[in-house]
Amino acid sequence: MSRLVRLPVGVRRQVFAPRAAAALGSCLGAGLVLAGCAPAPGGETLTVLAAASLREPFAALETTFESAHPGVDVKLSFGGSSDLADQIEAGAPADVVATADEPTMARLTDAGLVASPAVFATNVLTIVVPTGNPARVESLADLGRRDVDVVLCAPEVPCGRAAAAVTDAADVTPHTVSEEPSVTDVLAKVSLGEADAGLVYATDAATEPEDVETVPTPEAADVVNRYPVATLSDPPAPDLADEWVALLTGTEGRSALSEAGFGTP
């Protein structure tokens, strides 16, 4: 099974180096040497770029896929959807991309970089606070209090756009102290007590039950993120790419997504 590695944006882009560099047996980025960057000897590699919130179900599907395809190494790279789109536009040799909203995928579709996107999951936001809720946040309106430090996703990221839609509809201006590149970064800041509250996907909130608590956020029910997946227009491993999409959108994929708290279309 491949190892999941979360790297800064600049490093991730260097990881997706041209194949010629991979042939040299090295994978260098920001002074780091990453183990396992080359395909398994005699095997194939399937590279999947996915929104950060998909880490849990995609890790489960990685095991399923590799078990059904001996010799195939699935490499997962997670990040903010806009960052993933940047990587693809820069020529990253990926096979499949899954984003946390349709506008980001439309950007790739309009550029002719992906083929036939299909929505495979849905998600909604919820308020998270550190365990014990020290700031006594009880509703979305409390995010506008000056004594509540709020961290949100950056506006160019799907979870940031969703947060803006939820708060704008409720006429709430959050006391935002930080904007992060991905939903997992927002969750990390809240879980570490570096912020009093944040808006993250409900699925991400469920992954940190000991470090964060959720606050009912009924307003979020009207802002549903739809997650599309697509193969790249010229993927290095087209057959494997199609099979990954089939797995994700099939019975096993829906089961993994449901277990992680995602809705399915």
Q: Is the predicted pLDDT of residue 17 greater than 50, yes or no?
A: no
Q: Is the predicted pLDDT of residue 122 greater than 80, yes or no?
A: yes
Q: Is the predicted pLDDT of residue 235 greater than 70, yes or no?
A: yes
Mean pLDDT on 21-27: 32
Q: Is the predicted pLDDT of residue 240 greater than 80, yes or no?
A: yes
Domain boundary assignment for the chain: 9-122+226-259, 125-222
Q: Which CATH architecture fits 9-122+226-259? A: 3-Layer(aba) Sandwich (3.40)
In angstroms, the CA 161 to CA 209 distance is: 25
In angstroms, the CA 51 to CA 230 distance is: 13
Q: How confident is the model at residue 43 (pLDDT cuts 50, 70, 90)?
A: confident
Give the pLDDT confidence of 188-220 residue by residue, as tens digits.
Answer: 999 999 999 999 999 999 999 999 999 999 999
What does each C-alpha distance from 81 to 8, 32, 181, 231 come to in angstroms?
14, 24, 9, 15
Q: Is the predicted pLDDT of residue 20 greater than 90, yes or no?
A: no
Q: Is 253 exposed, middle or buried (0-12, 13-18, 19+ CB in 10 A)?
A: buried
Domains 9-122+226-259 and 125-222 share a fold: yes
Q: Are 186 and 100 in contact (CB under 8 A)?
A: no
Mean pLDDT on 62-83: 96
Per CATH, the number for 125-222 is 3.40.190.10
pLDDT for the residue numbered 15: 32
